Amino acid sequence: MSQATLDQRQRSPFAPETLVRTETGAKLHIAECPHIIGSEIREATAAERLAMELCTWSRAELDGVGRTYCDSLGDAMRLFGTHSGTERLIGDALRFVSHDQIWLPNSQSYVALGLEGRGVAWFGKTYVVPHTGEFLELPGFRESGGGGAPLDEQVGEICPVHHMTMSLTGVCDLCD
């Protein structure tokens, strides 16, 4: 097969199950893999399919644990479980974003809009990133330093004999 430049997923000359590679690459890919977007690719030979490893992104896609693609922003919002009342805000923030794909990653932690295989905008439950470097807060946004919100943990008193935390009922496990 002659070499082809993969500019867009829709323009790929390869079938979805066809494995491809770049001339200098050490791994195999499916044609939609973002690792090879814009690269000169060719179909892998039978010997290369046996000898070379599949990239992790392509393996996840083939195993059915990769991205979940959506036909519209509305479909993506419903699948993602966008909070009620934020749909219009998200739509307004993303209305001028050029994209040809919409997907949720396997983690289902955000929705991405992609153009030619690359993510160009994202949104989560409480934020929208319509362009790199631009961050819009949605209702419910809580700034944090990472690691999630602190827990409101309740603990019992300290046992005066054993100097250990007792249960909330005031019973020390070692005193009995």
pLDDT over 50 at 8, yes or no: no
Pick the range with the lowest mean pLDDT from 6-10, 13-17, 37-41.
6-10
Q: Compute the distance between CA of residue 114 and CA of residue 121 in angstroms, rounded to an integer.
A: 7
**126-159 residues labelled b (16+ CB within 10 A) or e (exposed):** ebbbbeeeeebebeeeeeeeeeeeeeeeeeeeeb
Predicted confidence band of residue 144 (pLDDT cuts 50, 70, 90): low
Percentage, residues of the chain above pLDDT 90: 34
Predicted confidence band of residue 4 (pLDDT cuts 50, 70, 90): very low
pLDDT over 60 at 73, yes or no: yes
pLDDT of residue 117: 74
Q: Compute the distance between CA of residue 25 and CA of residue 3 in angstroms, rounded to an integer.
A: 14
Which pTM value belongs to this model?
A: 0.55
pLDDT over 70 at 172, yes or no: yes
Task: Give the pairing of strands 27-30 and 53-54.
Answer: parallel
What are the tens digits of pLDDT across the range 97-125?
Answer: 999 999 998 778 899 999 887 889 999 98
